[in-house]
Structure 1
Amino acid sequence: MIKKKNETSIVVINRSTEKVFSISDNYLKEYDVEKSDKNKEFYISYISYKDIESTTIEIPRSIPNEDLTDSITIKTYEDLSLEPSNDYKITYLETSETESEDRFYNIFVVNNTILNNELENIANHTQYIDYVAIAPFLMQSLYKKSILPVDGSVDCFVYMEEDDAFLVVYQNGEYFDSRPLRYSLKYICDKFCQSIGEKIDNKMFYEMVARQGITLENPNERDALIAIFDDMFLYLNDVISSIKKIHGLSVDNIYFGSDIGHIKGVEVFIEDRLKINFRNFDFSIALNQKDFKDFTQLDVLMFLTAQVYLAEKNDDYNYSSFLRPPPFVQRDSGKLILASTLSLILAMVYPAYQYGYGMVNKQITAKKAEEYAVKLIEKTRIENELNRLKQEIDKTKKLTKQENDILMERKQILSAIFDKKVNYPMKSKAIYDMTNMINTKGGKLVKINADDSNITFSVATETEKKMTELLRNISDKGEKYTVDTKSIALDEDNNTIAYQSDITIEVKK
């Protein structure tokens, strides 16, 4: 909560106590609205619970979101019998009970006409009121500023003003439910005077209770006040029990406070009658806060709420009709003036822009023309060189073809010479060898046929055995010849018995 210097001062306006305080640099001081400086200050006030109309309504889940606000507004007017001619601000919060087929909403209604009339006197001096909260929402700031923990607990706040009193329930740091209470400070004072049979000035009564608490020094007065508070806490017990029964929850803590500060002795009633943990409704935000007895806990909550708003800028639950205008550039008039000014500037700048743009383009064009001339010369040189190389390639190909033709011709000649010198002698040698082997076996050479490397001998022998031995001898020469014979036939012509076979050999080179 430490503030830096030169930050906006927060001014809290309490309509109940009619006191105004400013807080700056962690120090509190009373504030004179007639000397306001609207440019350096943030103004916040609140609406008492008695000035709020509230209810809970059900809306079918079948209603689409875009029609939700209209449906809630119509239902609120019906449930609260609002006057259509009046101006109302209606806000709502969806409850956490989501198992039903309907959606449940807490509704808060403020009569803008009445509120504006009450705030107008302040706004005449400050010109603006930046934020107006409703009393049951002020406690939210305690959780937002991490003063109270958000740990799933259920906290109940009971607060008494001079002419108003209310109870608010928060669950896990979020608003849950609230109720008006009849036990305001003025109501208690009136009951006290009625009980003792004596009229006491309200201010004197408040000072006495603030100083002595419930156990007053005068026995008769003490008994009367204890009886009033006893009735009040029985009444509070009924209210809290109804909330528990409706929502099925239990209250963990009660924060009890008032505009006159802590009332000594209430903690005994809370823990004995209600059986709930008592927590003192006493929060501090200024170093010199104890010096200002009129600075209430609702003033503290307004200051914390202002800090939260300045950080989040959320106007969903801001009930002020005296807001500052948006920044100049966000107003319709500002947008129009800016658009007109921009159009005028563009109208003046456009000719100069066109002239400058033309000069730049002219320079760019001249530079590109020079680059093009250089590149055209280079292109011509490359094309000429490519043509020359192509002619040389064609000439080389022609010469290569001529040389290849000569080489092929010489190769053919060499192959013929090789065949004559190598192949023919080998065939002669083969005929010589075969003739000797045929004669050795008493065979008769009938005919010789030769083609390429193959030579076919037609041979006749007197017996099949000699023919077989001849073929075996030829096969034994396998390193030189490959033998192929298809059959050995018996020839009985001319009254001569002979075995004849065509023996084909392949001469190996």
Structure 2
Amino acid sequence: MSKKTEHSFSSVISVNPYKDTYLSGISSFLSQTNSPEFSKEQYAISYLNTKGFINSQISISKNIPEEDLHDAINNKVYDELALDQAVTYQIQFIETFNSLDEDNRNFHVFIIDPLTIEETFSIVTSKIKYIDTIIPSPLLLKSLYEKEIIETGGVHCFIYFQENDAFITVYSEKEFLYTKSINYSFLQMHERFCELYGERVEFENFIEFFSEHNLKETNSDYKEYFIKLYKEIFANANDILTYVKRAYELEKIEHVYIGSQIQTVTKLDEMTEVELGIKSSNFEFNYGFESDGAYIDQLHALMHIYTTLPKDEKYDCNFTTYHRPPKFMQRESGKIILLSVASLVLAFMYPVTYWVLTYAQTLQYDLLSTEYTELHNIKITRQATLKNREADKAKVLTLLDKEIKDYSEKKATLIKIHDVKVNYPMKAKLLSVLTKDLNKFNINIDSLSYKEDEKLKTFTLNLISEKDKKITEMIEYLTKIHEGKFNFSLEHIEFKEKSKKYFSELKVSIL
């Protein structure tokens, strides 16, 4: 699998140092590697069996500064666990939070003799040189929760059998709580089975029966003794879980996951649920890996999942002493070489820089001279073109002025023609309408006039009538008939004795 850890690597190799097995992961495909080799682009991870280290809990005062924490934990571990002062043990720790203890910080500590690491990984390092991470196997289970392979919280127990170790680990609310190695590795189970059976059985035969025979169906002579062996294992597991519940004040163990390094036909989870009375499942999870079809040791799969976790989601508990060498620039030899090279560069920098700058300036001058000549020719050509365009523009403007003048004259003529054509018929039409209305009331016109300004067009009619009442009736009639079209105004009606007739001036305004 292609992982992103603190550095970028193209592949990951997981190592079981106790069986010298290697599993290589590229993308999401896992395959067993029989001839592993060192590669700079390969991230290497391995683990320590539970019987290979000491695990304990200690408390440290909260008043101790962070920079002194490591020394304080080391001193307390040596004192409380009575470790040999002559041995420099490797000590790693992870913090656990206890809301009831307000004065102290609580830690799980993991302790191992450096000689144990050297002996365990001597064959591995002869093949792949460097191991980036060596972690206690129970802490690998943290990845099941961080990757949400196990989604529920509560108290979970994990039981796992290997050829040279077997462990019980308890997690509470997705955090490590307790682990213990039990004396039921495959090798130890084989010895105990031979004692129960009463005669020596080959280890290969024992493993073959363990993996390929179902206790519910087999009629083998081994069945009775395997059942006795399993009952002993579950009795031991029950004693440990009873202690854990009492020591850590747990109400109950909510789930047990049980499995082994090799595939089995017998349903161990069903037996566990019967013997312990706790809901149980097989210790086989869907990690999303593809493989060549061979059974994958769960610890190998857990190591590959673990390398995909961000740094803040992992337990910081790395026992490796097989670190990669620092990058070239971080080594002392690399610094000396870089300093020597820098000195030589500085010694030759001035003359080389001067020559380079001189050459660059000469080259730049030649380029600018060529560019100037080209631009000057373009300038002269464009200036001549502009003069020609300005002359053409003057001619066009003269023609344009003449056309504008002609257009204005024609426009004025058309306006006059329109006025004559439109306004005169309108006046005639209006007079015709008014004459008809005057005739209805036997009113004559003495004279008329027309006046027009920007806002109003007005006819003035001098009326003559036998009776003044006819004039007022006519005004009332006109106002009603032509409402909204004309405005009629009549200031007074005058009677002349000489002619015995009535005279008035009617003004008609077009609206």
**Same fold by TM-score greater than 0.5:** yes
Q: TM-score, normalised by structure 2?
A: 0.62
Instruction: Report the Cα distance in structure 1 between the residues aligned to 2:347 and 2:39, rounded to whole angstroms.
Output: 39
Q: Evaluate the alpha carbon distance shift between residue 333 and residue 155 of structure 1 in structure 2; reply closer, same or farther with a 3 A threshold.
A: farther
Q: What SS does structure 1 have at the residue aligned with 2:177? A: strand
| Match among 19, 29, 35 for residue 31 of structure 2 | 29
User: What is the deviation of 1:312?
Assistant: 7.1
**Quick check: 1:189–1:202 contact (8 Å CA) kept in 2?**
yes
1:112 and 2:119 aligned: no
Q: Which runs of 5+ in 1 are unaligned?
A: 359-509
Instruction: Report the Cα distance in structure 1 between the residues aligned to 2:95 and 2:340, rounded to whole angstroms.
Output: 45
Q: What SS does structure 2 have at the residue aligned with 1:78? A: helix
The residue identity in structure 2 corresponding to 1:16 is Y
1:259 and 2:266 aligned: no
**Quick check: 1:28–1:289 contact (8 Å CA) kept in 2?**
yes
Determine the structure 2 residue equivalent to 1:178.
Answer: 179
What are the superposed Cα offsets for residues 213-236 of structure 1, whole Å, 9 maximum, x if unpaired? 444623652222212212221221
Determine the structure 1 residue equivalent to 2:158.
Answer: 157
What are the superposed Cα offsets for residues 445-498 of structure 1, whole Å, 9 maximum, x if unpaired? xxxxxxxxxxxxxxxxxxxxxxxxxxxxxxxxxxxxxxxxxxxxxxxxxxxxxx
**Quick check: 2:59–2:106 contact (8 Å CA) kept in 1?**
yes
Determine the structure 2 residue equivalent to 1:276.
Answer: 278
Instruction: Report the Cα distance in structure 2 between the residues aligned to 1:120 and 1:312, rounded to whole angstroms.
Output: 30
Q: Evaluate the alpha carbon distance shift between residue 314 and residue 346 of structure 1 in structure 2; reply closer, same or farther with a 3 A threshold.
A: farther
Instruction: Report the Cα distance in structure 1 between the residues aligned to 2:207 and 2:284, rounded to whole angstroms.
Output: 18
Instruction: Report the Cα distance in structure 1 between the residues aligned to 2:166 and 2:172, rounded to whole angstroms.
Output: 20
1:206 and 2:227 aligned: no
Determine the structure 2 residue equivalent to 1:318.
Answer: 318
Q: What SS does structure 2 have at the residue aligned with 1:169? A: strand
User: What is the deviation of 1:356?
Assistant: 9.9
Determine the structure 2 residue equivalent to 1:83.
Answer: 84
Instruction: Report the Cα distance in structure 1 between the residues aligned to 2:299 and 2:273, rounded to whole angstroms.
Output: 24
Instruction: Report the Cα distance in structure 2 between the residues aligned to 1:171 and 1:225, rounded to whole angstroms.
Output: 32
**Quick check: 1:26–1:285 contact (8 Å CA) kept in 2?**
no
User: What is the deviation of 1:49?
Assistant: 1.0
The residue identity in structure 1 corresponding to 2:114 is N
Determine the structure 2 residue equivalent to 1:330.
Answer: 330
Determine the structure 1 residue equivalent to 2:170.
Answer: 169
User: What is the deviation of 1:347?
Assistant: 4.2
Deviates more, 1:95-104 or 1:210-219: 210-219
**Quick check: 2:92–2:319 contact (8 Å CA) kept in 1?**
no
Instruction: Report the Cα distance in structure 2 between the residues aligned to 1:21 and 1:152, rounded to whole angstroms.
Output: 30
User: What is the deviation of 1:278?
Assistant: 1.0
**Quick check: 1:38–1:127 contact (8 Å CA) kept in 2?**
no
Calculate percent identity across the aligned residue pairs.
29
The residue identity in structure 1 corresponding to 2:47 is Y
1:305 and 2:306 aligned: yes
Determine the structure 2 residue equivalent to 1:133.
Answer: 135
Instruction: Report the Cα distance in structure 1 between the residues aligned to 2:47 and 2:128, rounded to whole angstroms.
Output: 16
Instruction: Report the Cα distance in structure 1 between the residues aligned to 2:26 and 2:65, rounded to whole angstroms.
Output: 46
User: What is the deviation of 1:13?
Assistant: 1.7
Q: Evaluate the alpha carbon distance shift between residue 64 and residue 130 of structure 1 in structure 2; reply closer, same or farther with a 3 A threshold.
A: closer
Q: Evaluate the alpha carbon distance shift between residue 271 and residue 117 of structure 1 in structure 2; reply closer, same or farther with a 3 A threshold.
A: closer
**Quick check: 1:262–1:281 contact (8 Å CA) kept in 2?**
no
Instruction: Report the Cα distance in structure 2 between the residues aligned to 1:319 and 1:230, rounded to whole angstroms.
Output: 36
Instruction: Report the Cα distance in structure 1 between the residues aligned to 2:49 and 2:21, rounded to whole angstroms.
Output: 15
Q: What SS does structure 2 have at the residue aligned with 1:12? A: strand
User: What is the deviation of 1:262?
Assistant: 4.2
**Quick check: 2:194–2:200 contact (8 Å CA) kept in 1?**
yes
Q: What SS does structure 2 have at the residue aligned with 1:138? A: helix
Instruction: Report the Cα distance in structure 1 between the residues aligned to 2:270 and 2:314, rounded to whole angstroms.
Output: 40
User: What is the deviation of 1:282?
Assistant: 0.9
What are the superposed Cα offsets for residues 373-414 of structure 1, whole Å, 9 maximum, x if unpaired? xxxxxxxxxxxxxxxxxxxxxxxxxxxxxxxxxxxxxxxxxx
Instruction: Report the Cα distance in structure 1 between the residues aligned to 2:21 and 2:9, rounded to whole angstroms.
Output: 23
Determine the structure 2 residue equivalent to 1:236.
Answer: 237
User: What is the deviation of 1:290?
Assistant: 6.7
Determine the structure 2 residue equivalent to 1:56.
Answer: 57
**Quick check: 1:209–1:216 contact (8 Å CA) kept in 2?**
no
Determine the structure 1 residue equivalent to 2:194.
Answer: 193
Instruction: Report the Cα distance in structure 1 between the residues aligned to 2:89 and 2:129, rounded to whole angstroms.
Output: 22
Matches within 5 A, 1:409-424: none
Q: What SS does structure 2 have at the residue aligned with 1:308? A: coil
Determine the structure 2 residue equivalent to 1:44.
Answer: 45
Instruction: Report the Cα distance in structure 2 between the residues aligned to 1:188 and 1:179, rounded to whole angstroms.
Output: 17
| Match among 14, 17, 20 for residue 18 of structure 1 | 20
**Quick check: 1:262–1:282 contact (8 Å CA) kept in 2?**
no
Q: Evaluate the alpha carbon distance shift between residue 7 and residue 67 of structure 1 in structure 2; reply closer, same or farther with a 3 A threshold.
A: closer
Q: What SS does structure 2 have at the residue aligned with 1:139? A: helix
Determine the structure 2 residue equivalent to 1:409.
Answer: none
Matches within 5 A, 1:477-488: none
What are the superposed Cα offsets for residues 180-213 of structure 1, whole Å, 9 maximum, x if unpaired? 2122222222222211212111122112111124
Q: Evaluate the alpha carbon distance shift between residue 314 and residue 354 of structure 1 in structure 2; reply closer, same or farther with a 3 A threshold.
A: farther
Deviates more, 1:315-324 or 1:125-134: 315-324
The residue identity in structure 1 corresponding to 2:204 is K
Determine the structure 2 residue equivalent to 1:460.
Answer: none
Q: What SS does structure 1 have at the residue aligned with 2:108? A: strand
Q: TM-score, normalised by structure 1?
A: 0.63
Instruction: Report the Cα distance in structure 1 between the residues aligned to 2:258 and 2:198, rounded to whole angstroms.
Output: 28
**Quick check: 2:140–2:306 contact (8 Å CA) kept in 1?**
yes
Determine the structure 1 residue equivalent to 2:219.
Answer: 218
Instruction: Report the Cα distance in structure 2 between the residues aligned to 1:314 and 1:137, rounded to whole angstroms.
Output: 9
Q: Evaluate the alpha carbon distance shift between residue 213 and residue 62 of structure 1 in structure 2; reply closer, same or farther with a 3 A threshold.
A: farther
Matches within 5 A, 1:386-405: none
Instruction: Report the Cα distance in structure 2 between the residues aligned to 1:322 and 1:2, rounded to whole angstroms.
Output: 22
Instruction: Report the Cα distance in structure 2 between the residues aligned to 1:347 and 1:114, rounded to whole angstroms.
Output: 53
1:121 and 2:133 aligned: no
User: What is the deviation of 1:348?
Assistant: 3.4
The residue identity in structure 1 corresponding to 2:56 is T
The residue identity in structure 1 corresponding to 2:321 is S
| Match among 134, 144, 147 for residue 146 of structure 2 | 144
**Quick check: 2:94–2:317 contact (8 Å CA) kept in 1?**
no
Q: Which runs of 5+ in 2 are unaligned?
A: 359-511
Determine the structure 2 residue equivalent to 1:97.
Answer: 98
Q: What SS does structure 2 have at the residue aligned with 1:152? A: coil
The residue identity in structure 2 corresponding to 1:278 is S
User: What is the deviation of 1:281?
Assistant: 0.8
What are the superposed Cα offsets for residues 70-120 of structure 1, whole Å, 9 maximum, x if unpaired? 111011112333223333210112222132233322110121222123312
Find the structure with the greater CA-based Rg: 1
Instruction: Report the Cα distance in structure 2 between the residues aligned to 1:98 and 1:204, rounded to whole angstroms.
Output: 52
User: What is the deviation of 1:261?
Assistant: 2.5
Instruction: Report the Cα distance in structure 1 between the residues aligned to 2:342 and 2:329, rounded to whole angstroms.
Output: 13
Instruction: Report the Cα distance in structure 2 between the residues aligned to 1:285 and 1:257, rounded to whole angstroms.
Output: 15
User: What is the deviation of 1:158?
Assistant: 0.8
User: What is the deviation of 1:15?
Assistant: 2.0
Instruction: Report the Cα distance in structure 2 between the residues aligned to 1:340 and 1:98, rounded to whole angstroms.
Output: 58
The residue identity in structure 2 corresponding to 1:330 is Q
**Quick check: 2:211–2:263 contact (8 Å CA) kept in 1?**
yes
